[in-house]
Every structure is written in structure tokens, then in C-alpha cells.
Amino acid sequence: MIRSPDLDSFVCCAVCSKIIPPPPSNATFDRIREYKPFRTRYYTHRDILEIGADIQQEQHEKKEAEIQERIEKMKAELWSQEEVRKAKAEMQQYMEDEQKREVEAAEQRMAHRLQRALMECAREKMQAVAKARKQEREAALKEAARQHRKHLEQLKEENMLAEELYRKSIEQLNKEKCHEINTALSITQKENQIETEKQLKEAETLHLDELEKVMVTLKAAEEQVKTLVQKLEKMTDWKDSLETEIQATRQAFQKYIDATFPNLSPGQADFILPFRKAFKQKDTPEEAEDSDGM
């Protein structure tokens, strides 16, 4: 059961929405328990539900039949309207096709006329263009001949003027070149003279430097020769003294042999001692120079 909003009664269920009064008192419940009325009440409620369901199903079927009937009527009406609409559409299409064919025929006739007019215009245009070109060609030839004659006259005048200018330019150029050559020649001569004097001065300076170097070298050589001459003189004196000493030694040795071995023949010292050439003194550099000077 569902309690109603007034809290004093109850609703049987959501299907029948039957209002049930408040429950009885305890004494009433005792009497109900004695007679067991619950089963009767259950079956009564089920019968009510079945009857309600049958009524609802009948009403639903009736509504479905009415709806189906209305649908059939609407279909019939729609079919009739569709036939009318289709006929109108076919008629409209036929009219449009006829109108289109007439328009195409008119356009073809107009195009044919326009083509003939264009061909005529093109022919007239070609004739006019040919005539205009001929006139322009003749005028151009006349103008070209006139311009050619004028150009030849201008060329003659320009040629004469150019020859005169060329002659004057050549004369002026010759004068300028002669002046430049003379100027360059004088400058070159001056430069050569200055360069020659400079080279002569440099050569003289170089010659003096070399001469000074040669004199220094010669002086050093003379000093070296003097030193060598002095050494040679000392060596000559030493050799002379050595030769004198050797001769004295030989003579002393010969005297010793003569005194010790009187029976031996003279000259035993030269026989015993090694043979030695006598020293021959060479000329000194100063003596050689003196002899050359003589």
C-alpha cells in the first residue's frame, strides 16, 4: 500500500489508485482474523486489475483502429494529391520542354543570322583593311623614299664635316704629339744626364772605396811580407849558425878519429856520418825585388 498525503487513508496501488480507509482497530482485526478475509480481498483486487487491463486493451485497440483508418484516409488523399501534382508536373515539364525547344530554335535562327552578319562584316573588314594597308604601304614607300633622300643628304654633309674635323684633329694631334715628344725628349735627356752624373758619382765613390780597400789590403800584405822577411832572415841566420856548427862538429869528429886511429885514412868522418848537401841560401823577397828592379 501507498500512504496518501492526508496520512489517514491509503492508496491500494499505482494501477487502480483506489483509496483505502485507515486500518481498523485491534478489535476489528481480531474479528477479521477469525473470518480470514484476506484471500477474498486478494482475489477481488486481482479481478479488478484484470478487468482494468481488458478495458485498457480494448480502448488501445480501438484507438489503433481509428488511427489506422485515419492513416488510410490520409494515404488516399495523399495519393490523389500526388496524382494531381504529378500531372501538373508533367504538364509543366512539357510546357518547359516546348518553350526550351522554341528558344533553342530562335537562338539557332538568331545565331545563323548573326553568323551571316559577322561573315559579311569580316569580308567588308578584310576589304577595308586591304585597301587601308595598300594606301599605308604606298604612303610608307613615299615617306621612306623621302627619308632616304634626306638621309643621304645628311650623310654627305656629315661626311664632309667629319672629314674636316678629322683633318683638323689630325693636325692638332700631330702638333700635340710633337710637343709631347719634344717635352718628353728634353725631360728624358735631363733625366739621363742626371742619372749619368749620379752613376758617375756613384762609380767614382765606389772606385775610391775599392781603391782604399786595395790600399789597405796592399798595406796589410806589405806588413805581412815584412814579417815573413824578418822570420826568413832569422831562419837564415839560424841555418847559417847550424851549418857552421855541423861543419865544426864534423871537423872535431874527424880530428877525434885522426887522434884515436892514426892509421886510418883521412875523411873517415864523412864516411861514417850521413852524406849532407851544403845549404845554398836563396834570395830574400827584398833582394828579388831589387834584382827585378835592376
Do residues 10 and 1 make contact, with C-beta atoms less than 8 angstroms apart?
yes
| Whole-number pLDDT of residue 3 | 43
CA separation, residue 279 to residues 73, 243, 270 (Å)? 182, 7, 16
| Sheet of 10-11, strands arranged across | 2-3, 10-11, 19-20
Identify the residue whose cell numbers are 756613384.
Answer: 202
User: Which strand (E) or helix (H) includes residue 3?
Assistant: strand 2-3
Do residues 13 and 2 make contact, with C-beta atoms less than 8 angstroms apart?
yes
Dihedrals φ, ψ of 2, to 5°?
-120, 125
Identify the residue whose cell numbers are 518547359.
Answer: 96
Q: Which residues contact 285 (CB under 8 A, 6 or more apart)?
A: 225, 228, 229, 232
What gap in Å lies between CA 273 and CA 144, rounded to an integer? 138
Q: Where are the domains of the chain?
A: 2-69, 230-280
The grid coordinates of residue 29 equal 482485526
Return per-residue pLDDT of the chain as tens, 294 residues: 444 444 444 445 555 555 555 666 677 666 656 555 445 555 555 566 677 677 778 887 888 888 888 888 877 777 777 776 787 788 888 788 888 888 887 788 887 887 887 888 788 888 888 888 888 888 888 888 888 888 888 888 887 887 888 788 788 887 887 888 888 778 888 888 888 888 888 888 888 888 888 888 888 888 888 889 888 888 888 888 888 888 888 788 778 777 877 777 777 666 666 665 655 555 544 554 555 544
| Whole-number pLDDT of residue 289 | 53
For 262-279, b/e burial (b = at least 16 CB within 10 A) is eeeeeeebeeeeeeeeee
| Whole-number pLDDT of residue 7 | 44
| Whole-number pLDDT of residue 2 | 42
Query: Would you list the DSSP string of 127-193?
Result: HHHHHHHHHHHHHHHHHHHHHHHHHHHHHHHHHHHHHHHHHHHHHHHHHHHHHHHHHHHHHHHHHHH
Residues facing residue 262 across a β-bridge: none
What gap in Å lies between CA 236 and CA 282, rounded to an integer? 9
What gap in Å lies between CA 225 and CA 285, rounded to an integer? 8
Q: Which amino acid type is present at position 141? A: L
Q: Which amino acid type is present at position 257? A: I
What gap in Å lies between CA 10 and CA 23, rounded to an integer? 9
Residues facing residue 11 across a β-bridge: 2, 19
Q: Closest Cα partner for 253 from 272, 279, 277, 276? A: 272
Name the DSSP class of 278: P
